[in-house]
Amino acid sequence: MKNYSSYKDLYVALKSNKTSCVQQTKLYLQKIEKNKNLNAFIQVFEKSALDASKKVDEKIKKGTQGKLAGMVVAIKDNICYKNHKISASSKILTGFESLYSATVIEKLLKADAIIIGRLNCDEFAMGSANENSIYGPVLNPHNNNKVAGGSSGGSAAAVAAGLCLVALGSDTGGSIRQPASFCGVVGLKPTYSRVSRHGLIAYASSFDQIGPLTNNIDDAGLVLEVIAGKDDFDATVSNNPIGKYNEYKYKDSPKKIAYIEEILSHSLLDKEVKSLFLKKIDKLKKEGHFISSISFPYLDYLVPTYYVLTTAEASSNLSRYDGVRYGHRAESSSDLQEMYFKTRTEGFGDEVKRRIMLGTFVLSAGYNDEYFTKAQKIRRLIYDKTKQIFNDFDFLISPTSPHTAFDIGVKYTDPIKMYLEDIFTVQANLSGNPAISVPIGVDSKKLPVGMHIMSSHFNEYNLLYFSKKLSNQ
């Protein structure tokens, strides 16, 4: 008996009685136990997963199964699942159990997916290495001395190690795509507003987006098809129609593809990553695609703009964690003010405190116009320039990360180095465009390298099709 690496193969096996949902779930449970050293899972929902798998097996026998029947999914520890614990990998939410399920969870369950557990992540999704977690770092399945990436490192590692078929992550500045690149899997960030954020613990509300991490493009498209769409609980969700994202009826004509020249000459870009990227460009040219280098004058403004705006939103969003209503509460406080201070000091990790303080500063009187308002104006320039690119080109490509996975503990104490991890991915969050990371090879250390592909807003259909063609090369 084996686990399947694509839902298409699994579904055929389930329909032909070569396997069952219960058997698949038990195999994953065994693998999770065997690979505990990766620290990808915070909690395994063994009982509820097995109960669900039995029900789905019955539905398959009757022919009443949903679109994702038997798909075993794990979820990042910032996505709510009713009557299950959630902590955002933070002490301040220790012991908290969700009273409701996120919209994406409701949609997965309705489609008969089986949710097997919650996954480690950077605290409140703030990080690029999955080292900012009360549960400790996630290890990269390709090399246990390397980080898995962040903040959805547990999600990427779980899929790469075969501990689940699909994982859900969240992406604020690259938190799905960068760990996908480090772990050699597919990571999709949909267009902002394509997927409901209801039930996602907020970091930066105008940036956050839920998306899948998978072994292949087809599974990413199928999951997006299920979780996308309007939601009465999230007023920001788009009403744009949802496509059949893995049923391709697409003209296989040459595409106009751009890459940013400043990225290839950037001092952070590793030589081997650059070489693999250029080889892929050469191959695309030989297949008839039109490839052009373009200048993007705001490249050096991306990361500063991103961190001014996201920390400001985080300062507001995280003010609710005060020890009064739920989660951790400090003991032996003489008054309410001291209780707030002690609770937040004890409950938040260093990186979360750093971002809250930075966000409070940029919003403070005297500095709001100098930092926050100016960053909003620059974001608009970035949005307009990105939109202009897609008036002329079908896709914008780059390496997902400047380098492959780095050693655990190396950059953890240097916030500036960690913030620069997002340099190739934050544009898609600032502009709201859909983007995906697909594996394109390995470096000399056998560590995965990912290619980053962006398209115009709500153009996931073409983005997925092109990514599939590219990843099959």
pLDDT tens for each residue of 172-226: 999 999 999 999 999 999 999 999 999 999 999 999 999 999 999 999 999 999 9
pLDDT confidence of residue 327? 85
Mean pLDDT to the nearest integer, 237-242: 90
Q: What class is the 1-473 domain? A: alpha beta
Residue with tokens 């952070």: 268
Q: What separation in angstroms does the CA of 155 have from each of 4, 41, 165, 175, 430?
A: 17, 9, 11, 10, 23
**How do 72-76 and 41-44 pair as beta strands?**
unpaired
| pTM for this entry | 0.96
pLDDT digits (tens, 9 = 90+) for 12-44: 999 999 999 999 999 999 999 999 999 999 999
Q: Is 323 left (phi over 0), alpha (psi -120 to 50) or beta?
A: left
Active-site pick, 20, 128, 133, 151: 151
pLDDT value at 78 more than 90: yes
Lowest mean pLDDT among 80-89, 306-315, 337-346: 337-346
Residue 162 has a CB neighbour count (10 Å cut-off) of 18
Active-site pick, 101, 175, 193, 456: 175
Beta pairing partners, 171: 209
pLDDT value at 412 more than 50: yes
Between CA 163 and CA 142 the distance in angstroms is 14
Q: Tell me whether residue 2 is one of the annotated catalytic residues.
A: no
Whether 126 and 203 have beta carbons less than 8 Å apart is answered as yes
pLDDT digits (tens, 9 = 90+) for 276-292: 999 999 999 999 999 99
Q: Tell me whether residue 18 is one of the annotated catalytic residues.
A: no
Active-site pick, 53, 76, 87, 401: 76
Give Cβ neighbours of residue 293 (< 8 Å, ≥ 6 apart). Answer: 258, 259, 260, 261, 264
pLDDT confidence of residue 473? 47
pLDDT confidence of residue 331? 87
Between CA 365 and CA 382 the distance in angstroms is 26
pLDDT digits (tens, 9 = 90+) for 131-151: 999 999 999 999 999 999 999
Q: Tell me whether residue 175 is one of the annotated catalytic residues.
A: yes
- Indicate the average pLDDT of the chain: 95
Q: Residue 181: exposed, middle, or buried by beta-carbon count in 10 A (0-12, 13-18, 19+)?
A: buried
